[in-house]
Structure 1
Amino acid sequence: MDWTHYRFRSVWPLPAPPATVYAVLERAEEYPRWWRQVRAAARHGDGTGVVTIRSLLPYALTLTVREVRRDPVAGVLEVALSGDVDGWARWTITAEAGGSLARYEQEVDVTTPLLRWLAVPGRPLFRANHWWMMRSGRRGLLARLRAL
């Protein structure tokens, strides 16, 4: 097992139409307004951006994000990630009774020496940190959708 490799998946039922959810999620530069753990997000004109994320652990991840797929018809937003982690992340938004289902998938390898060194003892904490961040993100997204 590669202790520096992570796969995450979250499924969020949301009480809004898929097009509305997609419209909010495609504006990643606005994530810090509704997702507390996304501390900063800047979009560049070339389909790239930089995001800084920090959840409960006292360590911020800085990532370069490159758009791979933006397909509003299929409800897919996918990016390649590099920096403190390398890999990809994808939102898939589908219709669900009463609204939408937003699926978040991420597969990454940790690249920074400190996080690689802490890979074995820190793995349960890193996974819990991610779970907490996603829980908070769903709450923030629900509040954002209600405000629209």
Structure 2
Amino acid sequence: MSTTRYRFRTRWWLPADQSAVFAMLADLVGYPRWWPDVRSVRRIDGDTAEVRARSSLPFTLVMLLHRIEEDERRGVLAVGLRGDLRGFLRVEVSRDGLGTGVDVVQEVEARSRLLRVLSPWARPLLRLNHAAMMSRGRAGLMRRLAGGAGGTTRETARR
């Protein structure tokens, strides 16, 4: 396996309605309001957006996300990624007991020069960084779904 290829699988459980969760996840432009690691989203067209994300490590990833699938009835969202990461991300949203399960699968290849250089040596650190980002995303989504302020001071100042 290439040291620049990554496969991430994340499972979230949220004490919220499936439709509400799907709507929040489908609204990519709204991510900076609740996910602190998503610094900005700029819509390019109806199916494409530029996303800037920065987690715990001191660099920002710039990616173009292009919608491949959005099917609320089946609870499926999928996007192709280009830019600093290339690959895809697929989300499945489903009822799970008294709440909603969210399964996220990402298969990406590091394309930025920095990530390609770091990957052979810093792979465990990069995986931990991704896990921390996903954890903050879940926490922010839970706050937002509960009606709390999920945004950050930085995001609030942009308004």
Identify whether the pair has TM-score above 0.5, normalized to the shorter chain.
yes
- Shift of residue 18 of structure 1? 1.0
Aligned match of 1:119 = 119
Q: After superposition, what is the alpha-carbon deviation per residue over 1:60-108, rounded to whole angstroms, capped at 9, x for unaligned?
A: 0000010000000000110000000100011110011111101111000
Q: List aligned pairs for 1:27-46, cutoff 5 A.
A: 27-46=27-46
**Identity of matched residues, %:** 41
Q: Unmatched 5+ residue regions in structure 2?
A: 149-159
- Displacement after TM superposition at 1:44 (Å): 2.8
For residues 7-54 of structure 1, the C-alpha deviation after alignment (integer angstroms, 9 at most, x for no partner) is 001111111111110011100101001000000012233310000000
Question: Does the residue aligned with 1:118 lie in a helix, a strand or coil?
Answer: helix
Hey, what's the Cα distance between the residues in 1 that align with 2:44 and 2:110?
24
Quote the offset at 1:147 in angstroms. Answer: 0.6
Report the counterpart of residue 138 of structure 1 in structure 2: 138
Q: How does 1:53-92 map to 2 (within 5 A)?
A: 53-92=53-92
Letter in 1 for 2:80: A
In structure 2, give the amino acid aligned to 1:79: V
Gaps of 5+ in 1: none
Letter in 1 for 2:11: V
**SS across alignment from 1:44:** strand
Is residue 2:111 matched to residue 1:102? Answer: no
RMSD: 1.0
What is the distance in 2 between the residues matched to 1:76 and 1:37? 23
Query: Aligned pair 1:13/2:13, yes or no?
Result: yes
AA partner of residue 143 (structure 1): R
Deviation at 1:119, TM superposition (A): 1.1
Q: Distance in 1 between matches of 2:29 and 2:20?
A: 16
